[in-house]
Structure 1
Amino acid sequence: MNFKAHLEGIEVFEKVAKAAEKLNVEAFVVGGYVRDLILERDKKSKKDIDFTCVGSGIALAKEVAESYEEHVPLSVFKNFGTAMIKLDDWELEFVGARKESYRSESRKPIVEDGTLQEDLERRDFTINAMAISLNKENYGELLDPLGGLNDIKRKIIRTPLDPNVTFSDDPLRMMRAVRFASQLNFDIDADTFYALTQNASRLKIISKERIIDELNKILLEPKPSYGFKLLFAGKLLHEFFPEMVDLQGVDSVDDKSHKDNFYHTLQVLDNVSQMSDDLWLRWAAVLHDIAKPATKRFNSKVGWTFHGHEDKGAKMTPGIFRRLKLPMDDRMKFVQKLVRLHLRPIALVKDEVTDSALRRLLFDAGDDIDSLMKLCRADVTSKNNRRVKRYLDNFDKVEKKLLEVEEKDQVRNFQPPVSGEEIMQTFGLSPSKIVGEIKEEIKEAILEGKIQNKPEKARALMFEIAKSKGLFPINELPKSSSK
């Protein structure tokens, strides 16, 4: 297989080839660019290109950078023997061919100069261990000493060398195996997968940040459940996300069973993924039932219950985010809110639902109401298609009612028309419990529909409430008479 025609249409390859010839070193395109070229994947990552040379990668990068008339940003990483050039839409990384060995207790490799064969052998998987020559004698030729092309045809993820060595050396490669399988819809080779299960505990030496980076990539795939099933079967999930592992399994008492909440969660995740690319909405799907194991109870009359799992799950969310090194900012709060509220819309599918209940949901969900409704729709996973259709039709009615109430009452994210500061100034109060009580009564009156969400209505009620508590406006206080 030869890619000469493809290379000749791109200036970058011509520059690298000429620089390598000038330095009298052999140069090759390697890694993901080659893989995606063979797979004809039109991805943004295709603009990231790795170059290997049998010599100094840094020297080659410098020569390439100097070949441009305009200034080209060049970053050199001497400790790693690598260099990077950033052009408009390209990110080019250069490294000299090398071989690596590892100590069992460390992720830091001992790096030595090597041949192209040794460089390809040190890579994670055969599909990433192919090279395209940039040398005059065989320009554009695919070099595939480890069978990567055949594995692409077979749709197999396989390590170039003994998978036990590959995974023990760099345990993150186990996460990458699952990510590539999920991304490309490939299978993991049987020997490679068995080695993955045997080395799962080695993930302990990998930082949570690197693990979660791979997990988020799996989450963003069109059907993330495939990757999660592999993580579970390979015992990788057990190493960093035991709360999700605990969802798996079915208990039965007196012929009464509950559904397997692990596979239900994966179905909800896939359903959400068909509606949205939002990573944090997908995390909400992952965590929406996370507290079911902790709240599971058996009642002889009703069977299995999970009362309060939405509140318990919301309380668990910050701890899970913190441990997994996920962002502890508004993204976490968004996920926490959806976990806490995910049962609320389901309770509103009845025809007799009140405007008050709708107003409260709009108030509590705020601008996240649309995301919440997507999660709730995704949560309908019954095998009974008629039941699913009935629920989804009811959600259509709820959404229509929500729009009507919002248009009429404008309670989404509303701030009470009367502030605590205004209450204090009007009645000569300092910050106190009674100020909060007046604000809360006004808010409740609006949510219950007793008054409209308008400043003049809220102020009129403020005076009524204050009077009932023996409070009077400063300008209406009776003057004390003097004798």
Structure 2
Amino acid sequence: MDFDFPVSQREHFVFNKIAATADELGMEVYLIGGYVRDKILDRPTKDVDIMTVGDGLLLAKQIAERFHPKPPVTLFKTYGTAQIKLPDMEIEIVGARKESYEQSSRKPAVAQGSLQDDLNRRDFTINTFFSRLSLHHTDGGRIQDPFNGLQDLSYKIIRTPQAPDSTFSDDPLRMLRAIRFATQLQFSIQPETLEAIKRQKERIKIISGERIADELNKIMMAKKPSIGWALLFTTGLLDQFFPQLSSMAGAENVDGIGHKDNFYHSIQVLDNIAPHTKDLWLRWAALLHDIGKPATKRFEKGHGWTFHGHELVGAKMVPKIFNQLKLPLNDKMRYVQKLVGLHMRPVSLTKENITDSAVRRLLFDAGAETDDLMTLCSADITSKNVMKVRRFKENFKLVRKRMEEVEAADKMRNWQPPISGDLIMQTFGIRPSREVGIIKDCIRESIIEGIIPGSYEAAYQLMLDKGAELGLVSKKDGGTAPKTGPGEL
């Protein structure tokens, strides 16, 4: 069986086996959708979509017997779909079906259908290509293009095969998928299709947050994610599930003094950071770094527009946003929150004489995320003033150099003060209390400020002195510290 699109030797072998299985069962079996599209576009893909007119679960079981996959075939009986994972590809098998949403349902109603039913339910013309897998059928391996998808591919257009309003009303997730494909492929959405998204935007509310989050994360990982976020904003979809971000749009002007549009600035920062990281959560930090600006925006006579403390306000907003968007409320969220809260710190160091204590404090607070923080701050330079950009970048080089010098001398990154809360409580025979926190803070700040060296012995002595100042009595005989201890600088 020959194909109209490029397949590897391995894929050819697998598809011939599937074709032989289909012929033995007397079933119509097709390669369909995104796999065929990506092959035509010469995009790398390991996800293979196979559709059959009939019992997809039966077909999957028979195919699995030829390959003996590990893990074995996974059957999703409710939806009549199955998944087979081979070492170099993942095959999803489904019976031809019809599906639609009720007016207020978050789950699609699924029914068995014909080949035409399955094609009609597909979201965009560029996902309607199919190619029959058969060793005997004359059309085996030939591309079938029922909705002129090849023309749309050549024109780089996203268009629905059916009337767009009914397409999006029937399955509102398709609106996000249109924007996601436009972002990933850097295609345009056909004007009629785009206008339908604007009309049907409120229908997105019936879609679960988890499915929305999945599409957003795919947009985030695109080469130029700003395409998707700009489309989400201009269509009005963004207001439906993430109004905090859309509220950043717009530039106010008072007494001839304006400020930049913080929405478009934020998505530009996201684009700036994209070539430097594949870390989804660093990209989220870039998008959210200024999310606190609308709440802190003020116009001050003689100073112009200010956003004092927006980084701290933004950091407090991150957990609520993650919960709202059904993003994980774990260490990923805390990582984003930390970077949002710290993103102004390196900038402030470029505006003053850099002291060792200021650098030590930043290295201590940023810890393992120091490099990511500096990557974010570099991406945050979006000025169109070439001289201003050059000055910022030169200043950041100085900050980086000073950080490297202080890190080499003090090893502040991932550093912890040499005196623990447990040792303080044991020394003074006290329980967890305000005094424990006061002593810990005093030791940490004294080391960061360079008042005492970072040795265990110096920290231990300061603990005793501070404890005596607070009226605490050491339970240790002689009150002298061991010569060394954990965390010594």
Structure 1 residues 460 and 129: alpha-carbon distance in aligned structure 2, compared to 1, 3 A threshold: same
CA contact (8 A) 1:7 1:13 kept: no
Corresponding residue SS for 1:199: helix
More deviation in 135-144 or 460-469?
460-469
SS in 1 for 2:31: strand
| Equivalent residues of 1:291, 1:310 under 8 A apart | yes
- AA aligned to 1:314 is A
Q: TM-score, normalised by structure 1?
A: 0.93
- In structure 2, the residue matched to 1:30 is 32
The residue aligned with 1:445 is 446
Between 1:129-138 and 1:1-10, the stretch displaced more is: 1-10
Q: Report deviation, 1:112.
A: 4.0
Q: CA deviation at 1:157?
A: 0.6
Alignment CA distance shift 1:114-1:447 (3 Å): same
Number of residues of Structure 1 aligned to a counterpart in Structure 2: 475
Equivalent in the alignment of 2:58: 59
Task: Tell me which residue corresponds to 1:321.
Answer: 322
Residues 298-317 of structure 1 aligned to structure 2 (within 5 Å): 298-317=299-318
Q: Deviations over 1:250-291 (max 9, x none)?
A: 111111111111111111111111221111111111111111
Decide whether aligned partners of structure 1 residues 72 and 63 sit closer, same or farther in structure 2, where only a CA change above 3 A counts: farther
Distance 2:57 2:475 in 1: 77
Residue aligning to 1:13: 15
In 1: Cα distance, 2:285 partner to 2:6 partner: 47
Report % sequence identity: 53
Give the match's secondary structure for 1:372: helix
Letter in 1 for 2:53: V
C-alpha distance in structure 1 between counterparts of 2:141 and 2:101, whole Å: 33
Which residue of the partner structure matches residue 98 of structure 1?
Answer: 97
What amino acid is the match of 2:121? Answer: R
Cα distance in 2, alignment partners of residues 476 and 105 from structure 1: 73
Instruction: Tell me if structure 2 keeps the 8 A contact 1:281–1:335.
Output: yes
Letter in structure 2 aligned against 1:441:
C
C-alpha contact 2:158 2:182 (8 A) present in aligned 1 = yes
The aligned counterpart of 2:203 is 202
**Greater mean deviation of Cα atoms: 4-13 or 435-444:** 4-13
TM-score, normalized by length of structure 2?
0.92
Q: How does 1:230-379 map onto structure 2 within 5 Å?
A: 230-350=231-351, 352-379=353-380
Quote the residue 2:405 is aligned against.
404
Q: Which ranges in structure 1 are unaligned for 5 or more consecutive residues?
A: 479-483
Shift of residue 4 of structure 1? 7.6
Which amino acid is 2:119 matched to?
L
Structure 2 residue aligned with 1:133: 132
Q: After alignment, is 107-116 or 124-133 more displaced?
A: 107-116
Judged with a 3 Å threshold, the aligned counterparts in structure 2 of structure 1 residues 79 and 439 are, in CA distance, closer, same or farther, namely closer
Deviations 1:230-265 (A, max 9, x none): 111111111111000000011111111111111111
Task: Classify the secondary structure of the residue corresponding to 1:85.
Answer: strand
1:422/1:148 CA distance change after superposition, 3 Å: same
Give the Cα separation in 2 of the matches to 1:66 and 1:427.
70
For residues 67-91 of structure 1, give each alpha carbon's deviation from its aligned partner in whole angstroms, at most 9, with x where no partner exists: 3467771222232222222222222
CA distance in 2, matches of 1:20, 1:247: 54
Q: Does 1:77 align with 2:76?
A: yes
Contact 1:8 1:14 in 2 (8 A): no
Cα distance in 1, alignment partners of residues 345 and 70 from structure 2:
58
Distance 2:84 2:435 in 1: 64
Letter in 2 for 1:116: L
Report if aligned partners of 2:52, 2:96 keep a CA contact under 8 Å in 1: yes
Distance 1:79 1:426 in 2: 63
1:411–1:453 contact (8 Å) kept in structure 2: no
Root mean square deviation of aligned Cα: 2.1
Pick closer, same or farther for the CA change 1:390–1:69 going to 2, 3 Å.
closer
Cross-structure match for 2:483: none
Unaligned 5+ residue runs, structure 2?
A: 480-489
Structure 1 position 190 matched with structure 2 position 200: no
Letter in 2 for 1:129: T
Other-structure match for 2:223: 222
The answer to whether 1:154 aligns with 2:128 is no
Q: Which moved more, 1:127-136 or 1:179-188?
A: 127-136
Query: Partner amino acid for 1:52?
Result: M
- Corresponding residue for residue 481 of structure 1: none
Summarize the Cα distance change of 1:469–1:104 in structure 2 as closer, same or farther, 3 Å threshold: closer
Structure 1 position 341, deviation (Å): 1.0
Q: 1:108, CA displacement in angstroms?
A: 4.2
Q: Which amino acid aligns with 1:121?
A: N
Counterpart in 1 of 2:121? 122
Shift of 1:331: 1.0
Q: Is the 8 A contact 1:117 1:145 kept in 2?
A: no
SS in 1 for 2:50: strand
Deviations 1:274-310 (A, max 9, x none): 2211111111111111111111111121111111111
Counterpart residue number, 2:164: 163
Moved more, 136-145 or 63-72: 63-72
